[in-house]
Amino acid sequence: MKTFSLFFQFLWRYKYLFIVFVFILLFQSISSAIQPYFYKLIVNNLVSADYWLLVRILLLYVGVRIFENLISVATYYLGDRILIPASRDARVKVFAQVQDLDFAYHTEKNTGSLISAFKRGDNAFFETFHNFIDLFRIGITFIVMFLFFVDVDWWVTLPLLFVLIVNVFLIRCLILVNMTRRKEFNNAEDEISAIITDNLINFETVKFFAKEVWERLRLKKSFDNWSDKLWRFSNSFRLMDISLGTVSNFGVGMILFIALQRLVTGKIDSGDFVLVLGFIAGFFPRLFDMFFNLRSLATRHVDLRRYFQVLEESVLVEDPKSPVRPVSIRGKIVFDDVDFSYPGGKEGAIADLGLTIKPGETVAFVGSSGAGKSTIVKLLLRFYDVDRGRILIDDVDIKRFTKSDLRSFIGIVPQEPVLFNDIIAYNIGYGLDCLNQKKIAAAAKMANLSDFIELLPEKYQTMVGERGVKLSGGQKQRLAIARMILTNPQIIVFDEATSQLDSESEKLIQESFWRAKKNKTAIIIAHRLSTVRRADRIVVLSDGRVVEVGNHQNLLRQKKGIYRRLWRLQTRVDKN
């Protein structure tokens, strides 16, 4: 019920329109349900041969049908006025929640499965609304029919109740089976979607290793489980058809037999019999409609629940209730005895980190893979919160800033920039509130990217492809620098940005970085030590701990130092 409660919360945002809608739906349902009553009136008045009375009854019947049709159109119109904005609100809410969730959530999520769940959930939102409308109409029809049957004869009413109760029990049992098999099928479908999405994202790797045939066979093998679950899900419908069809047809025969007996014995008249016949003719199709709507509702519940589950995820790194809102910062950073272990992951990723970075200073973090270099950046950006100690910017604990404000102070040039499948200008100007071509061009020039862009036929309007696949590694890095320059942050983080590039690209990127870095605090995360020679201080990490601190020349003088050893290894490789 929690899922449907959340569903109706989105509808209730438009409560006045929703209340009007329910009243109109009620009138439409009643006007549709009472129509068999006119059959009784016509039959009972045939004997009187009162032609004009029969015409008036006929005109009234036609008038009710016209009214029912018009009000039905109004019902759908009002329903859409509620449903369309409510579904938009739900989609935006779920999307916003995904955006707000922590870095840890995004590292664990399966993009293909999540996209599949979102698509099914959005579709289920619409279908659920229509299911509830149909069930409301069916419920009103049953109430109207029951009242008329009671007025006609209790002996006709009792078998109707019996058949209805038996069918409701059957529907409940069959829907539980159907829901279970739907969940199993959804899991199999998500697995297929995940494989396809993963291949689309990593198509280069597939082609590098000529694994196209292997991937097709992997997908085909996954369809074995998918087919099995789909067959089981489909067969649950056949079970429903057989069970409900048998009970319902038996019920039709029993009710009509009893009504016929009451007619023969004079307990009811011909008009009552025709009334019963008219209601029964519509009752059992409506009973099947009720079943299929309930079955559909149960199916949509599964999809909606998966859709809304994102809203139940907790945001672990929360914004403060009364945040500090500085207009600008100087760029002083303090790591005050920081300890951190990844949740469910590496213990002691950072231990006893105590370090002060002065405004405008450039500090590099170096060390072997897994030493904790990138973890420091994640903590600074509050992708995770520290386990012990504090991180301060301008002597203010970063937990006192909103995450948006904190990250607006810091410009990142990541190791692997991921670009939007859009034009170059959009990707460079992404950090701006609105695109400004002059600022974009100026930033591209500072990042040593403008010469390359000007050689392109469409220049700044060139599409970069999905994840920037049309650009080289160096071009993407320089674009990331240009993007960072435009946001004008006081703190710059250069995260392994030249580790996989050729010497010429590295030279261009380093020139861009030092030009952008002027008068700003900078943190360099580096595996390639040539990147950090100009840093004011170099911090060497090992197993999450600081083991050496100094500038390039000082660290080279430490004969048994880690930095000296790493430098010699890299310069020897470069010479070779």
For the beta carbon of residue 257, count every other beta carbon within 10 angstroms.
Answer: 11
Per the prediction, the chain carries an average pLDDT of 82
Write down all domains in the chain, each with its CATH number in brackets: 2-312 (1.20.1560.10), 333-575 (3.40.50.300)
Q: How far apart are CA 183 and CA 83, in angstroms?
A: 26
471: left (phi over 0), alpha (psi -120 to 50) or beta: beta
3-state secondary structure of 408: helix
DSSP letter at 533?
T
Q: For 20-69, how does the pLDDT look when each residue is reduced to its tens digit (9 = 90+)?
A: 999 999 988 888 888 887 777 777 777 666 778 778 878 888 888 888 88
- The per-residue pLDDT for 499 is 54
Over residues 381-386, mean pLDDT: 88
CB of 541 closer than 8 Å to CB of 372: yes
Burial label, 458 (beta-carbon count in 10 A; 0-12, 13-18, 19+): exposed
Q: Which of 291-300, 322-331, 507-516 has the highest mean pLDDT?
A: 322-331
Over residues 266-289, mean pLDDT: 77
Q: For 212-247, how does the pLDDT look when each residue is reduced to its tens digit (9 = 90+)?
A: 787 888 888 888 888 888 888 888 877 777 877 788
- The per-residue pLDDT for 530 is 74
Question: Would you state the structure tokens that stand for residue 143, as one six-digit string?
Answer: 């109430």
- The per-residue pLDDT for 573 is 47
362-366/537-542 β-pairing: parallel
Q: Is the dihedral of CA 401, 403, 405, 411 positive or negative?
A: positive
The single residue listed with the structure tokens 């020139």 is 511
How many residues appear in the chain? 576
Q: For 81-101, how does the pLDDT look when each residue is reduced to its tens digit (9 = 90+)?
A: 999 999 999 888 888 888 777
Tell whether the model's pLDDT for residue 575 goes beyond 60.
no
Q: How far apart are CA 130 and CA 257, in angstroms?
A: 36
Q: How far apart are CA 470 and CA 483, in angstroms?
A: 18
Say how far residue 52 (Cα) sits from the centre of its chain: 63
Over residues 471-493, mean pLDDT: 83
Q: For 444-455, how does the pLDDT look when each residue is reduced to its tens digit (9 = 90+)?
A: 888 788 888 888
Q: How far apart are CA 479 and CA 417, in angstroms?
A: 9
Tell whether the model's pLDDT for residue 476 goes beyond 70.
yes
- The per-residue pLDDT for 391 is 92
Query: Which DSSP helix (H) or strand (E) runs through 251?
Result: helix 212-264
Tell whether the model's pLDDT for residue 501 goes beyond 60.
no
Query: Which DSSP helix (H) or strand (E) runs through 169?
Result: helix 154-201
Q: For 296-306, how does the pLDDT look when each residue is reduced to its tens digit (9 = 90+)?
A: 887 788 788 88
Q: In sequence order, which residues have a C-beta less than 8 Å from that of residue 154 and are 6 or more positions away?
A: none
Which amino acid is it at 501? L
Question: Would you state the structure tokens that stand for residue 177, as one six-digit string?
Answer: 């089976």
3-state secondary structure of 497: coil
For the beta carbon of residue 15, count every other beta carbon within 10 angstroms.
Answer: 10
